[in-house]
A and B are shown apart, each in its own frame.
Chain A
């Protein structure tokens, strides 16, 4: 991809997703992620209806009239985008590849964060951590993130979700809003998930293709596993075979859903032929 073409693409994504985040997501993102940390800002005199629990007894004693503490929401949020760039992402049978959808979702989230004046960081992972961009504020930083999302070429092809979760648990000291965008073709990541979900406000966004749910009959075909790179002949005449194929992904989805829900992390399932906007909006609403 040459620079000019890349810039054009970045621009296109920016326009599309910024409009999305401005028009549709608007406050939803804001209200959904309020930030748990409250910082003390001032004391003011008690008024009828104030919670007695927030009375500052020291000041009350000093002035001999009740005062309450006023907190301010901590608006200094950090958004961390954890994006799977493994081989299986380069797959798509409807309009867009999984990776393109993921890029759009990530960009939308990033622009929403920009409106909130939040910091945005990026982790690209496959079998290992492929790239880490520490959280920073500002539009140019954001465009760089989008550029990376668009053009990054991973060195490994497999997916290791556990490793990426471990990484985000350790790399950020402060609590952050983390979005894990992947197709979750991996298992055995629950231990790392538990730790990461405790530390961060974690949401898993699973992007999948309709052809992962059901395999059409394409006869006897040479197929390549995008994750392992292995080639083998598959027989899709057999309905049992096709069911097994679909069953494998269904099983992965179940695992993903169970694991995230058990650790009170958010779950979004996005099919590539359905609108992710609606899904995200729904998710933010139910959170808020």
Chain B
């Protein structure tokens, strides 16, 4: 939605040039056109401290400004309210499967992996406003945060609430996450179905084998992009839980089951990415965004709101003010 003021007849704005001409005219000819009282001597008025004669240019300037506002009104200002509506002939369905295991709290991405991911994913969701997006989180188990929906705000809201809470059994059940995502997509009638699977570890939990989940994905013709998150080498990651519930951080080896992820991606026609820092994570999502092009038809609705009344009314008020002032404060009896 874009609000802006445009003039329907901007050529009338050239009439504003009359204002300086009028001002010059007033300046040079106004005094000489006024009725004049000839007095024997004005010495008596010499020291009078009256503001009224000094404020006298107010009258012509009020007139000039009234003229200016009338010209503005003549130019027909309008507030244009452009509302855009897009229709996609073929929107796609995307399910983001996000790893929320405790290792996602590792601090090799700033401030930690999960927060960095949430930021990037939110942007991604915003860019894919034509598509339906669902959210699946998994650790040792998995569950659906939101089913696929075109309501972006719900998805984004849900995404912001994603955190490591220990609700799920800790661990990394890639197979479970993938399978849940596939389950979400299996009834979709969309032409193109995509899963973005993100993990930072090795499949070490769950009762569904990742490769079995891949078979399911293939079955339902679902493309899977996989992202391995975590820097190379070691990272500060939670190693233990302290009695007060906080994590003890320690250097741990980052291990990602790259072969598995590659396998998943390739066998479903997707792609595997490796994110080592915030920047590369962002780039990956941009890449995916580009890969999954959708055709969009956009309709623009122009809503015109006529605004000429305002300047005309102001101009009238100025004229009336000028008239009142002339009849009261600046009244002359000659």
A249 proximal to B (CB < 8 A)? yes
Given A227-B41, A246-B44, A249-B44, A232-B334 contact (CB < 8 Å): no
| B332 lies within 8 A of A220 (CB) | yes
- Number of A interface residues at 8 Å Cβ cutoff, please give it: 36
- Residues in B neighbouring A230, C-beta threshold 8 A: 42
Q: Which single residue of chain B is at the shortest CB-CB distance from A89?
A: B40
C-beta contact mask, A217-242 vs B, less than 8 Å → 1, else 0? 11111111111101111110110110
Q: Which single residue of chain B is at the shortest CB-CB distance from A247?
A: B44
- Residues in A neighbouring B45, C-beta threshold 8 A: 223, 232, 234, 241, 244-245
CA distance in complex: A245, B45 (Å): 6
| B36 touches which of A212, A222, A240, A245 (Cβ 8 Å) | A222
Q: Which single residue of chain B is at the shortest CB-CB distance from A246?
A: B44
- Residues in B neighbouring A233, C-beta threshold 8 A: 52-53, 56
| A231 lies within 8 A of B39 (CB) | no
| A224 touches which of B39, B53, B329, B334 (Cβ 8 Å) | B39
CA distance in complex: A218, B332 (Å): 6
Given A212-B40, A227-B40, A230-B42, A222-B34 contact (CB < 8 Å): yes
Taking the closest CB of chain B, its distance from the CB of A208, in whole angstroms, is 8
A118 proximal to B (CB < 8 A)? no
Taking the closest CB of chain A, its distance from the CB of B19, in whole angstroms, is 23
C-beta contact mask, B42-77 vs A, less than 8 Å → 1, else 0? 111101101011001000000000000000000000
Taking the closest CB of chain A, its distance from the CB of B38, in whole angstroms, is 5
| A237 lies within 8 A of B52 (CB) | yes
| A219 touches which of B43, B44, B332 (Cβ 8 Å) | B332
CA distance in complex: A183, B44 (Å): 15
| A235 touches which of B36, B41, B47, B52 (Cβ 8 Å) | B52
- Residues in A neighbouring B53, C-beta threshold 8 A: 220, 232-235
- Residues in A neighbouring B47, C-beta threshold 8 A: 244
CA distance in complex: A231, B53 (Å): 12
Q: For chain B, residues 11 to 56, give those with C-beta under 8 angstroms from any C-beta of chain A.
A: 31, 34-45, 47-48, 50, 52-53, 56
CA distance in complex: A98, B48 (Å): 27
B124 proximal to A (CB < 8 A)? no
Given A232-B45, A233-B56, A235-B50, A224-B36 contact (CB < 8 Å): yes
Q: Which single residue of chain B is at the shortest CB-CB distance from A91?
A: B40
B304 proximal to A (CB < 8 A)? no
A248 proximal to B (CB < 8 A)? yes
B333 proximal to A (CB < 8 A)? yes
Q: For chain B, residues 296 to 334, give those with C-beta under 8 angstroms from any C-beta of chain A.
A: 329-334
Taking the closest CB of chain B, its distance from the CB of A110, in whole angstroms, is 25
| B333 lies within 8 A of A217 (CB) | yes
Taking the closest CB of chain B, its distance from the CB of A204, in whole angstroms, is 17
| A220 lies within 8 A of B31 (CB) | no
C-beta contact mask, A88-100 vs B, less than 8 Å → 1, else 0? 1011000000100
CA distance in complex: A160, B43 (Å): 16
C-beta contact mask, A193-222 vs B, less than 8 Å → 1, else 0? 000000000000000010010000111111
A149 proximal to B (CB < 8 A)? no
CA distance in complex: A197, B234 (Å): 122
Taking the closest CB of chain A, its distance from the CB of B31, in whole angstroms, is 6
Taking the closest CB of chain B, its distance from the CB of A242, in whole angstroms, is 9
CA distance in complex: A76, B31 (Å): 56
- Residues in A neighbouring B44, C-beta threshold 8 A: 244-249
A120 proximal to B (CB < 8 A)? no
| A223 lies within 8 A of B40 (CB) | no
| A218 lies within 8 A of B50 (CB) | no
CA distance in complex: A185, B332 (Å): 27
| A222 touches which of B31, B41, B43, B333 (Cβ 8 Å) | B31
Taking the closest CB of chain A, its distance from the CB of B44, in whole angstroms, is 3
- Residues in A neighbouring B31, C-beta threshold 8 A: 222, 231
Taking the closest CB of chain A, its distance from the CB of B318, in whole angstroms, is 20
Q: Which single residue of chain B is at the shortest CB-CB distance from A244?
A: B44
| B333 lies within 8 A of A225 (CB) | no
| B333 touches which of A183, A219, A226 (Cβ 8 Å) | A219
| A221 lies within 8 A of B48 (CB) | no
CA distance in complex: A224, B47 (Å): 16
| B56 touches which of A212, A220, A223, A248 (Cβ 8 Å) | A220
Q: Which single residue of chain A is at the shortest CB-CB distance from B330?
A: A220
Given A91-B40, A223-B36, A224-B39, A240-B48 contact (CB < 8 Å): yes
Q: Which single residue of chain B is at the shortest CB-CB distance from A229?
A: B38
| A235 lies within 8 A of B48 (CB) | yes
CA distance in complex: A108, B291 (Å): 117
| A238 lies within 8 A of B41 (CB) | no
Q: Which single residue of chain A is at the shortest CB-CB distance from B52?
A: A235
Taking the closest CB of chain B, its distance from the CB of A22, in whole angstroms, is 33
| A223 lies within 8 A of B42 (CB) | yes
Given A185-B41, A245-B45, A231-B330 contact (CB < 8 Å): no
CA distance in complex: A225, B39 (Å): 5
Taking the closest CB of chain B, its distance from the CB of A159, in whole angstroms, is 9
| B40 lies within 8 A of A222 (CB) | no
18 new A-B contacts at CB < 8 Å, known A91-B38, A238-B48: A88-B41, A98-B40, A185-B41, A212-B40, A219-B332, A220-B331, A220-B332, A222-B36, A223-B36, A225-B43, A226-B39, A226-B41, A232-B53, A233-B56, A237-B331, A241-B45, A244-B45, A248-B44
7 contacts between A and B (CB under 8 A): A218-B332, A223-B39, A225-B39, A228-B42, A232-B42, A247-B44, A248-B43
